[in-house]
Amino acid sequence: MSSIIGPLDLPLSHLYRPSALKNNAPLLVLLHGYGSNMHDLFGFAPYIHEKFAIVALQAPIPLGGPSYAWYNIYFDQPQGKWSDAQQGKESVQLVLDVLDQITQQIDVNTLEVNLLGFSQGAILSYAAAMSHGHLSKVICLSGYLNEELLPDNARLNSCQGSRFFASHGDQDQVIPVAWARKSSRRLKELGCDLEYHEFPVGHGVSPDNFTALNSFLNG
């Protein structure tokens, strides 16, 4: 299937690959990491089953050049490295709003709305799933559950029926694998349906990792 640049009426720049199905298609929305853009994860699209309608979103905060973020990370502050949690909350809500807009504009199965995020995009994916129902599968690559990004009224007593896939490189020097392991334990405490993997890589997605997530997506 060919891709189309920005055909939908959305508040975020995006790339769109239509489904091969004429109607009731499963939807997969892609959220890139800090400093990247909508083209990054869209490279997965040719290898994902053609039944999926795929939308790769671009984060709203420009960092200069082709780099964007869902929320700012300040690296050289007197108090040390810190993230803007309020911006993160706003981006979580923006993503949820955009998901609703997508389902209103293309013929998709609203029971098969799936989210895939890498790094900062994975952090957003966790938060979106934990604060909103109606997500089928949530794939979180090289990220972790940051409860500071959840809405103030979010209830962490269920996973809203979502199925989770989480993976991490055991040599990751950007987001420590210990954070992913802690998130995995937290989701299991909450009774979430979670498939967790570690791979012998750094902050990235290995071929074996992609094979595993693709199998989960099609399962």
- What are 32-48's pLDDT values in tens digits? 999 999 999 999 999 99
| Domains contained in the chain, CATH given | 4-218 (3.40.50.1820)
pLDDT score of 116: 98
Average pLDDT over residues 123-127: 95
Residue with more model confidence, 123 or 219: 123
pLDDT score of 88: 95
pLDDT over threshold 70, residue 2: no
Closest by CA to 12, choosing from 42, 38, 51, 46, is 38
Closest by CA to 142, choosing from 161, 116, 160, is 116
pLDDT score of 1: 47
pTM of the prediction?
0.94
Please list, residue by residue across 60-90, b when 16 or more beta carbons sit within 10 angstroms of its beta carbon and e when fewer do: beeeeeeebbbbebeeeeeeeeebbeebbbb
Listed in sequence order, the residues at least 6 apart from 85 whose beta carbon sits closer than 8 Å to its beta carbon are 71, 146, 148, 149
Closest by CA to 21, choosing from 54, 52, 56, is 52
